[in-house]
A and B are shown apart, each in its own frame.
Chain A
Amino acid sequence: MAKRIDVSGLSAYYGNHRAIDDISMTVEPRSVTAFIGPSGCGKSTFLRTLNRMHEVTPGGRVEGKVMLDDQNLYGKDVDPVAVRRTVGMVFQRPNPFPTMSIFDNVAAGLRLNGRYRKSELNDVVERSLKGANLWNEVKDRLNKPGSGLSGGQQQRLCIARAIAVEPDVLLMDEPCSALDPISTLAIEDLICELKERFTIVIVTHNMQQAARVSDRTAFFNLAAVGQPGKLVEIDDTERIFSNPSVQATEDYISGRFG
């Protein structure tokens, strides 16, 4: 079930340092939203506030509101563990569990949620691996370690692991930055398929990638090093890349800085 994300007045801190300041935006369900901006502008930090991963960093804390449909993720009686079960995440570097087989990697999230029969697990693992366009490459070696796959395959394994639990939202933190162009293309195709079912937010340093895969693009910037990052604007991707309403956005996408 894809859900709408509605962020209002969100700031995130590392200890006393404010990393991002007063961000508000809406992310529509079944769409791809890309975050772009120079290094250190807080786009990854912001992404990590959307599934309460920011606070696992020592000193990390958040102010503001993130609504997932009608539930505030930072509400008083909301368990961050439960949030992370409904908002999946894919990281910059592929991180399959090295001690688990391919099958167990995909089944890991399900096993956290409770006991499943073997046949149910088999179905979900097959469906998830097919969903991640990996099934044909690994169906004969499901019990081999996931760390034996190539980087691109590992990243698709991580995507399969994330979608196996049917999350409401899928967050991707520069999912292609450690991959070669062919693997990148495979992941981008996959993102376009996955947006039929999930709300996807992707952080990327690659502006062509943002232009290729996303429906909406958010541009983040910071006034100076050490200053908190801010959301400059969010708009339809086409508009951001052709006729942005803020000068800084145009400067950034045309390569004048960043």
Chain B
Amino acid sequence: MATATTHTPPPPGRNETTPPKSSAPSQAGDRIFLGLSRGSGIALLVIMAAIAVFLTYRAVLAIADNEGNFLTTSEWNPAGNPPVFGIAVLAFGTIVSSVIAMVIAVPVAIGIALFISHYAPRKLATPLAYVVDLLAAVPSIIYGLWGAIFLVPYLDGLNKWLDQYMGWTYVFDKSGEGVARNMFTVGILLAIMILPIITNVTREVFLQVPRMHEEAALALGATRWETIRMSVLPFGRSGIISASMLGLGRALGETMAVAVVLSPSFIISGRLLDPGGGTFAQNIAAKFNEANEYGRDALIASGLVLFVITLLVNGAARWIIARRKEYSGANA
């Protein structure tokens, strides 16, 4: 195009000194698109920075006047005189409930994903995948209500059973009679909530395993399970980790479902079946409305910690994936 136009005379009315622009419309389009995408990128950075600055500023204000140790105090009383508050209970509750959720959800999700991608006949796999997609679309408050009204009474029985037969493990020792509005229930509920996203992402990864890797295993005389172990799971390893991190992110930040199910209290207890405990998000949701300005700053400070924990988790996941990069399926 460019060479062709240099030999043709410029159209009448155009200034002779300007270089010929045969592709003027697409250049304008390029420039607009460049401006848009660059602007969006910059806007994203500005918004992120603004949020970080705002959160940090308010958090520092609150922590400066805090009489307790912000990280180790297991008490939340920013309205007191002097104000005393700390995130120990919240950090403990958030991590414990998320760990329970991951321990339950990840194996189940991998199982469902493998069933959909490798075992189920296509007639069954398609609707099943669709149902899993639907599960992801249920709002978290609905999960919370379902958990409080339906799940808690059912789990009462399970709690009694666990207490009776697994009580020696301490974590399943129940010290009182209370209902199952405890961390264990929260963990189970979170597991159900993060199941769809982990399942969907891992299923996609399993479907992308090149046919030739599976045939390599089959031709060596591998059974279906051995084929999955030799080619599908190793190939999908980084995908499984990413999917789990997505799920973990949701579990760490889940608010409404936890707030509805848990009967909160500011205690740290390894007894998962005793009611009580709290999480960052649940605590903020429960206290934000009735808190004064200072109390809100304290809650923002706790939110900042949740943010940092999420960042650390993501960083760790990336590190795990990068560590074995040369063995990843991406080199194939």
**Chain A residues in the interface with B (C-beta under 8 A):** 51, 53, 56, 81-86, 88-89, 91, 93, 95-101, 108-109, 112-113, 145, 147-148, 158, 161-162, 165
Does B226 count as interface, using CB distance less than 8 angstroms? yes
Nearest-neighbour CB distance to chain B for A165, whole angstroms, equals 7
B237 contacts A84, C-beta separation under 8 Å:
no
Residues of B within 8 A of A91 (CB): 212, 215-216, 219
Give the number of residues in B that approach A within 8 Å (Cβ atoms): 24
Residues of A within 8 A of B329 (CB): 98-99
Render B193-222 as a binary contact track against A, CB cut-off 8 A, 1 for contact: 000000000000000001011011111111
Does B23 count as interface, using CB distance less than 8 angstroms? no
Q: Which of B212, B220, B326 contacts A108 (CB 8 A)?
A: B220
In angstroms, Cα B280 to Cα A23, docked, is 70
Known contacts A98-B235, A99-B235, A148-B331; is A84 also within 8 Å of B212 by CB?
no
Task: For A158, give the chain B residue with the smallest CB separation.
Answer: B216
A97 contacts B231, C-beta separation under 8 Å:
yes
Residues of A within 8 A of B221 (CB): 81-86, 109, 112-113, 165
Task: For A83, give the chain B residue with the smallest CB separation.
Answer: B221
B220 contacts A165, C-beta separation under 8 Å:
yes
Nearest-neighbour CB distance to chain A for B30, whole angstroms, equals 38
Residues of A within 8 A of B219 (CB): 51, 53, 84, 88-89, 91, 162
Task: For A58, give the chain B residue with the smallest CB separation.
Answer: B122
- Sample 30 A-B pairs with CB under 8 A, ordered by A number: A51-B219, A53-B218, A81-B221, A81-B223, A84-B218, A84-B220, A84-B221, A88-B219, A91-B212, A91-B216, A95-B210, A95-B213, A95-B216, A97-B213, A99-B234, A99-B235, A99-B328, A100-B327, A101-B327, A108-B220, A108-B230, A109-B220, A112-B222, A112-B226, A145-B331, A147-B326, A148-B326, A162-B219, A165-B220, A165-B221
Nearest-neighbour CB distance to chain B for A108, whole angstroms, equals 6
Task: For B231, give the chain A residue with the smallest CB separation.
Answer: A97
Nearest-neighbour CB distance to chain B for A93, whole angstroms, equals 6
Residues of A within 8 A of B2 (CB): none
Task: For A53, give the chain B residue with the smallest CB separation.
Answer: B219
**Chain B residues in the interface with A (C-beta under 8 A):** 210, 212-213, 215-223, 226, 230-231, 234-235, 237, 326-329, 331-332
Residues of A within 8 A of B216 (CB): 91, 95-97, 158, 161
B222 contacts A98, C-beta separation under 8 Å:
no
In angstroms, Cα B212 to Cα A89, docked, is 12
In angstroms, Cα B212 to Cα A99, docked, is 14
Residues of B within 8 A of A100 (CB): 234, 327
Most buried by A among B220, B222, B231, B237: B220
